[in-house]
Structure 1
Amino acid sequence: MNKRVIIEMPEEIHDLMEAEAARGGMKPDAYVLDLIVERLEDLHDIALAEAALERIRSGESKVVSGEEFWRGLDD
């Protein structure tokens, strides 16, 4: 089920959003939804990267060189 969200934004941002949506051949609602989805995906990727970095820092995971990685695949 879809939900409706109403936001207020400065007129200049609204105008820019409408212009960019039109330039991409999209309706403003679809354009804004795409932006939100893209941003949420970025935040998810950042969270995964931060978790991986924490595992490396804590010693739970280790970093190997490209040479070591490929050598392990040759076995």
Structure 2
Amino acid sequence: MSVISFDKLRDTREQPDAQFVRKDEHGQAMYLFALEYEMGPSTWSAMIWAYSFEDAERRVKAMRGSLAVCGQMHASIGA
């Protein structure tokens, strides 16, 4: 198994690949961030869009207090 240091990667890359960047309705760049959590003996992951690393941390903090399951996903329609 290979372990990747995200801190080192974040410091060495100026811009992420295009598939990991999108613009919000005001044209401001948002970036895709990986999240990690443990459940029992396993480690799981999820992804969120945020404006910066600090914004991603704020979003995770907000999730701790209000995250809820809305329903099962069945399809995705590209824009």
State whether TM-score is above 0.5: no
Higher helix share: 1
Could you state the TM-score of these two structures normalised by the residue count of structure 1? 0.23
Kindly name which structure, 1 or 2, has the bigger radius of gyration based on alpha carbons.
1
Higher strand share: 2
**More RCO (CA 8 Å, sep 6+):** 2
